[in-house]
Amino acid sequence: MSNKPYEIVERPPTVLEHQTLWEAVGWGKVNIEMTEQSIANSIYCVVAISDENVIGMGRIVGDGAMYYYIQDVAVLPEYQNLGIGKQIIEKLLHYIKDHCSGAGFVGLFASHGKNEFYEKFGFQDHSPGMTGMFLIVGG
């Protein structure tokens, strides 16, 4: 566990930073071409930086009006459990609350075992009445 200081910065991760974090938390391999366009199309992004290195990230995708999806919240394993993920989520939610003029829908998919973390921010599992589903096309 690291006690080095860090800061949350409003900017997108680079493709390499995104790939490093993605793979460090065990999400598999990244398609670099898709990642570059995906990051470019984000509504809002933040990164956590320590010693000039990106140690965490989070971003928002969606239509910027009614639907917002929190994506790619990841913190390097050696920096987890220090409150960095909490600060990333708080920053993302603050952005949404400042930019959503009505009742907005904020969705996310939590990694296995992370439901409790997101429940602290008001996210709920709405099954069986509603379920989160997804389809992967191509590759």
Cβ atoms within 10 Å of 78's Cβ, excluding its own:
12
Domain definitions of the chain by residue range: 7-119
Asked if residue 21 lies in contact with residue 56, where contact means CB atoms within 8 angstroms, the answer is: yes
Q: Given 44, 68, 79, 118, which residue is catalytic? A: 118
> How far is it, in rounded angstroms, from Cα 84 to Cα 101?
28
CB-based contact 76:56 (threshold 8 Å): yes
Q: What is the mean pLDDT of each run of 10 residues along the chain (139 residues)?
A: 84 98 94 94 98 97 93 96 96 93 82 78 76 69
pLDDT confidence of residue 129? 78
Give pTM, 2 decimals: 0.86
118 is catalytic: yes
CATH number for region 7-119 = 3.40.630.30
